[in-house]
Structures are given as structure tokens and as C-alpha cells.
Amino acid sequence: MSKYSAIADKLKEEISLGMYSAAGKLPTEYELVTRFNVSRQTVRQAISSLKADGVVYQVQGSGTYVSKPTSSGRKTVESAFKNIFVICTYISEYIFPSIIRGIDSTLGGTGYRFNLAATGNKVDVERKMLSDVIKLQECDGLIVEGSKTGFPNPNISLYKALEDLGIPVVFLHCAYQELPESVVVGMDDRQGGKIAAERLVSAGCRKMLGIFKSDDRQGLLRYAGFSEGIIESGLSLDCTEVRWYTTEDALDLGMRIDGSIIRLIQNSSIDGVVCYNDQVATALIRDLTRLGLKVPKIISFDYSYLCSSSTVPFESLGHRKEELGVLAAQKIRNMAEGKRESSVYLDWIV
């Protein structure tokens, strides 16, 4: 039996014997650490296990209390549900509805309820949302897609505050470099970039362009895989061109491709392009077509609805959208119940 299970069983026994009375307060975390001679994390896992069983509930900043029985014998509202907060960069567009559907299908009707919000990939909005979660005192777990994960993040202290409060976090797609031990459910972006480069080489492309997003870590990893794929295919990196863009570039330009990229394709022998995602791919095809220019072979990521609406067909590696949401929900549910979890990165669908 694990240490935290033994502690949970002991506390449950003491509660059943009336040592803390109905709605009584349990010893503090520090007192339990001292009493059982274990780590804070072990005590938190024990308390999480008791919460999952409806034996106790927590009031942020106050402590842990024995759940009050009702006349019908059911648990009180505090312990009847676990609240999971989901923070995405976006909600209503592109791949996110499928991810959210996966989360909802896993948490819905299982004693969990989740609250959904979007940051627009802005760190200031993320900061406010994390602060609200901490102040609200009703969060049992957080699923979050970080904002601008490719850059140093000013909100790391808030994520550490969540950890100190015993609130588990699962990151979607990738975590911040400052939080290397985080649990992540994402796609294997480096593998995807490598596959894309290799497929262009196999198709006969010899002068390639990569267009990647610099402020999200997925873009950095896809670029790393792209470079690796070029080298391992026996070509030199001097046969490639790379261009970068940020969230603000895409929003300000309405996903219009930068003129320097258009001129590069027009005036050079570029015969293959790896695009960061389907939004970039369809915008590139649109702008090249408007100018009457030939569209090189394009490989993209996500295999979204944009593929079927494109005027020129292009290849896109398939994102496991709903499966990713299901896995994230399963992991946060397990962690909210005191179980350990680890990161998982899914293969792209080719």
C-alpha cells in the first residue's frame, strides 16, 4: 500500500470514529507532514483521495473539513462535484472545438464539471485567469494551453502557486520551458516536422521553405524536426529557407502571407513548403493563386476543415484532436484523485 493511501485510510478511520466530528476541521498540512513523517506531496495526495471519496472538502485559505451528511445521506454540494477549469488559447475556431468535445465527453456525467475560457494567446489575459482560479478557491484541477509558450513567461509564479495549493495542472500541446516537470498531453511536434521534410524530399523537392510560428513552442519543435529531416535525408541546410511569424502578425495581417515570402517563391526555385498549420497553408495558396503564381508542393499540420475548402489540394498531417482532449481529461481526473500521471505525445496521422 502506498504511503498516501495508508494516511488516507487512517484519517478515514479517525473520521468514522468521530474524532473530528461532523464538519470538523482536519489537522493542517504541516501537522500531518510532521505526524506521519512524509512529504507535503504525499499528504496532498492523501487529502485528494479523501476528497475523491467525498469524505472531506477543502476551503481555500481555511483548511480541510469533514463533509457534512444530508438527510438523504448524499454528499453536500462542496464534495458532490469536482471543478475542472479549462483554459485554451481559442475556443470556437479551428481544431479547438474537437479538443473541447473530447474533454466534455470524458468529464461530463462523472461527478466533474468544467469551466471554459480562452486567452487569445495573450499572457496578460492568462495572468488574470490564473489569478481568478487561485482566488476562487473552487478549482480541483486545471487543463491549460499555455500562451506564447515559445517565449519566457511572466506567469510562472502563478503556476507554482497552483502547485503549492495542491491544484494539479495538465498542459495541452506543450508546457513552458520553466516548468520542465509538467504533465503535458500533446502531439509529437518534432516528429511531425521531420516527417514533413522527409515527405517533401521523397516527392522530389530539393529547395524547400519552412514557415513556422515563433511564439508558440510547437513552431520551434516543428522547425527542429524539419531541419533534422533535411539533414537525415542527405541534403544540406543551405537548400532550405525559413521564415517566422507571431500571433500578432497573423492577427494584424488577417493571415495574409508576408510579401517577402511571396517574392522568395516567385524568384527562386522553391519547390516544397512546410507550413506551421492549415491556416498558413490555405493563406499561402490563396495569395499565390491571386497573383497567378505556381503553388509549390505544400505539407501542413492539423488536417482541419480548411483542407477540404482549399482551391489547391495540399497534404496535412492529422492532429488527434478529440483523442487529445480525452487524454487530457483522463489525466486531470486521475491527478485530482491523487494519482500520479506523466506526459504523453501522440503520433501524427500520416
pLDDT (tens, 9 = 90+) of the chain, 350 residues, equals 789 999 999 998 888 877 776 557 888 888 899 999 999 989 999 998 888 888 887 766 667 878 755 443 434 444 457 889 999 999 877 899 999 999 999 987 778 888 899 999 999 999 999 999 888 778 999 999 999 999 999 999 999 999 988 999 999 999 999 999 999 999 999 999 999 999 999 999 999 999 999 999 999 999 999 999 999 999 999 999 999 999 988 766 567 888 899 999 999 999 999 999 999 999 999 999 999 999 999 999 999 999 988 999 999 999 999 999 999 999 999 999 899 999 999 999 99
Angle at 59 between CA 328 and CA 113, to 5 degrees: 35
Contact 142, 85 (CB under 8 A): yes
CA pair distance 166, 33, nearest whole angstrom = 14
The class level of CATH for 3-66 reads mainly alpha
Architecture of 81-181+322-346 per CATH?
Answer: 3-Layer(aba) Sandwich (3.40)
Strands 63-66, 56-59: pairing is antiparallel
Q: Is 166 left (phi over 0), alpha (psi -120 to 50) or beta?
A: left
CA pair distance 11, 21, nearest whole angstrom = 12
Phi/psi at 289 (nearest 5 deg)? -65, -40
Q: What is the pTM of this model?
A: 0.77
List pLDDT tens digits, range 158-167: 999 999 889 9
Architecture of 189-318 per CATH?
Answer: 3-Layer(aba) Sandwich (3.40)
Q: Provide the residue type at 68 as one letter.
A: K
The H or E element that residue 260 is part of is helix 259-267
Contact 331, 346 (CB under 8 A): no
CA pair distance 10, 345, nearest whole angstrom = 38
Nearest to 249 by CA among 279, 209, 218: 279
| Average pLDDT value over all residues in the chain | 89
Decide if 81-181+322-346 and 189-318 have a common fold: yes
List pLDDT tens digits, range 30-59: 889 999 999 998 999 999 888 888 888 776
Lookup: cell for 107: 468529464
Strands 240-245, 208-213: pairing is parallel
Residues in CB range of 218: below 8 A, 6 or more apart = 149, 173, 174, 186, 187, 189, 276
Phi/psi at 107 (nearest 5 deg)? -90, -30
Q: Where are the domains of the chain?
A: 3-66, 81-181+322-346, 189-318
